Amino acid sequence: MSRNQELFDRARGVIPGGVDSPVRAYGSVGGTPRFMVSAQGAYVTDADGRDYVDLVASWGPALLGHSHPAVIEAVVEAARRGLSFGAPTAAETELAEEIRSRVPAAEKIRLVSTGTEATMTAIRLARAATGRDLLVKFAGHYHGHSDGLLAQAGSGLATLALPGSAGVPAPIAAQTLVIGYNDRAAVEELFRAHEGKIAAIITEAAGANMGVVPPAPGFTAFLSDIAHRNGALLISDEVLTGFRSSRSGYAGVLDAAGEHVVPDLIAFGKVIGGGLPVAAVAGRAEIMDLLAPTGPVYQAGTLSGNPVAVAAGLATLTHADEAVYRTLDSVAHTVAAEASAALTDAGVPHVVQWAGTLFSIFFGESVVGGVPDYATATSQDADAYGRFFHAMLGAGVSLPPSAFEAWFVTAAHDDAAIARIVDALPAAAEAARS
């Protein structure tokens, strides 16, 4: 028996499903999850000693590649000074300033530990600022696992085909109105039907938890306009896209396309922790100042702004210069083009979709015209993806174990790593077809 299997069997005896986050369980692709023991650059190594070119990147944070020397050094130095003080540190201000320098709409920033906390707090702030309760959310978008945000969510709920979560009180679920992404008429209808009651629209800056589904041109600006005309706020969730889609996240991609949108509140996570738990809620100063201790909205955290985690995030952002984003862009385009060519050669219908340097590939006849929303995303051929996934894994390439996730490249994916991916593609494309 493989060591991975042994560890999985043992884990299942004490951890529900053997995993601490459902997306790790290979639920939709089947098989035994790889238990990782180390990660360096573009590679992860499992308990059987096999290495894989990694296209998961810890689900986003490993922008520079795993265990980047500058990040490890910053973490070790910070750890030597102290693991946690429960008191403010200068580095928290430095990280907040670095975030604001890239995303000016983040006028003030509160650090938390997970993306879930960031969106949860953003919603509480929006409700406090508007004195309203209702929230508009898009089907297929994932904003973490707080009660109000699990209806028709992406990520693991999409993978496991769950419509929502048990254990959410009906009155709380009723505060969230879910509609299709990129559907302007549905948004207009909601604001008509619930006049004066909607606190905020929350949207992923670009959908990336049902596969990558970017906003249609003008859609995000439309959301901002309609929210503001109706006295509601726009919350942009950049937990996944932030500092990955571009240097300034998906906001930077929109800016470059001439669509300048200033969200009232923004959630960040993943890259700003560089692999350790840091996330943030940010936005207009007057709204952010509603947070305690300046305002009446309570939010707190024993380990918020933890010095070791902040050191990892700061080192990651400091090293993520223009050259890093050029590399990410070029690696992503090479991998996507090679994969698409192999699938075309094998006669597998598919479409590649982009959000800046982030992409994913949908398989199946129903997606070739493009995937604008969750209804189309769920029509994809997830079984074909599962066969493709396992063929790639067998050839030493670790893709996200779900058809509903983005493919994450890192700046450490060099020619050798890309060559291994390219060599694996023809057989994987054949497997997807059969």
Ligand X SMILES: NCC(=O)CCC(=O)O
Ligand Y SMILES: Cc1ncc(COP(=O)(O)O)c(C=O)c1O
287: contact with ligand Y by CB under 6 A: no
Among 28, 114, 155, 304, contact with ligand X (rule: CB under 6 A)? 155
Copy the structure tokens of residue 65.
């590649």
Beta bridge mates, 177:
136
241: contact with ligand X by CB under 6 A: no
- Comparison of 252 and 400: residue with beta carbon closer to ligand X: 400
Copy the structure tokens of residue 417.
């790593």
Does the annotation count 415 as an active-site position?
A: no
121: contact with ligand Y by CB under 6 A: no
Query: Least distance (Å) from ligand Y to the CB of residue 156?
Result: 9
Q: Which does 137 bind (CB under 5 to 8 A by kind): ligand X, ligand Y, none?
A: none
Give the N- to C-terminal CA distance of the chain in Å, as an integer. 28
405: contact with ligand Y by CB under 6 A: no
Distance CA(44)–CA(52), nearest Å, equals 5
274: contact with ligand Y by CB under 6 A: no
Query: Least distance (Å) from ligand Y to the CB of residue 178?
Result: 16
Which residue in 43, 46, 137, 237 is the catalytic one? 237
- Comparison of 202 and 425: residue with beta carbon closer to ligand Y: 202
Distance CA(150)–CA(25), nearest Å, equals 19
Among 115, 252, 283, 305, contact with ligand Y (rule: CB under 6 A)? 115
Query: Least distance (Å) from ligand Y to the CB of residue 329?
Result: 20
Which one of the spans 103-111, 237-245, 250-258, 350-358 is the region binding ligand Y (CB under 6 A)?
237-245
Q: Which of 120, 95, 127 is nearest to 109 (CA)?
A: 95
Distance CA(13)–CA(20), nearest Å, equals 13
159: contact with ligand X by CB under 6 A: no
Query: Least distance (Å) from ligand X to the CB of residue 26?
Result: 13
Q: Which does 23 bind (CB under 5 to 8 A by kind): ligand Y, ligand X, none?
A: ligand X
- Comparison of 56 and 425: residue with beta carbon closer to ligand X: 56
Query: Least distance (Å) from ligand X to the CB of residue 217?
Result: 24
Which one of the spans 114-122, 331-339, 366-374, 381-389 is the region binding ligand Y (CB under 6 A)?
114-122
Which one of the spans 115-123, 127-135, 167-175, 418-426 is the region binding ligand Y (CB under 6 A)?
115-123
- Comparison of 140 and 156: residue with beta carbon closer to ligand X: 156
Distance CA(425)–CA(434), nearest Å, equals 14
Which residue in 270, 373, 374, 381 is the catalytic one? 270
Q: Which does 119 bind (CB under 5 to 8 A by kind): ligand X, ligand Y, none?
A: ligand Y
138: contact with ligand X by CB under 6 A: no
Copy the structure tokens of residue 47.
């308990």
204: contact with ligand X by CB under 6 A: no
Does the annotation count 373 as an active-site position?
A: no
Q: Which of 44, 230, 259, 3 is nearest to 136 (CA)?
A: 230
Site for ligand Y in 156-195 (CB under 6 A): none
- Comparison of 254 and 432: residue with beta carbon closer to ligand Y: 254
Among 4, 58, 119, 353, contact with ligand Y (rule: CB under 6 A)? 119
Q: Which residue type sits at 248?
A: S
Query: Least distance (Å) from ligand Y to the CB of residue 193?
Result: 27
**Would you tell me how many other CB atoms lie within 10 Å of the CB of residue 37?**
13
Site for ligand Y in 357-376 (CB under 6 A): none
- Comparison of 61 and 148: residue with beta carbon closer to ligand X: 61
Among 10, 15, 16, 21, contact with ligand X (rule: CB under 6 A)? 21
The answer to whether the beta carbons of residues 212 and 206 sit under 8 Å apart is: yes
Among 46, 54, 204, 264, contact with ligand Y (rule: CB under 6 A)? 204
Which residue in 26, 43, 142, 181 is the catalytic one? 142
Does the annotation count 43 as an active-site position?
A: no
Q: Which residues bind ligand Y (CB under 6 A)?
A: 114-116, 119, 142-144, 204, 209, 237, 239-240, 269, 279
Which are the catalytic amino acids? 142, 237, 270
Q: Which residues bind ligand X (CB under 6 A)?
A: 21, 23, 59, 155-156, 209, 240, 405
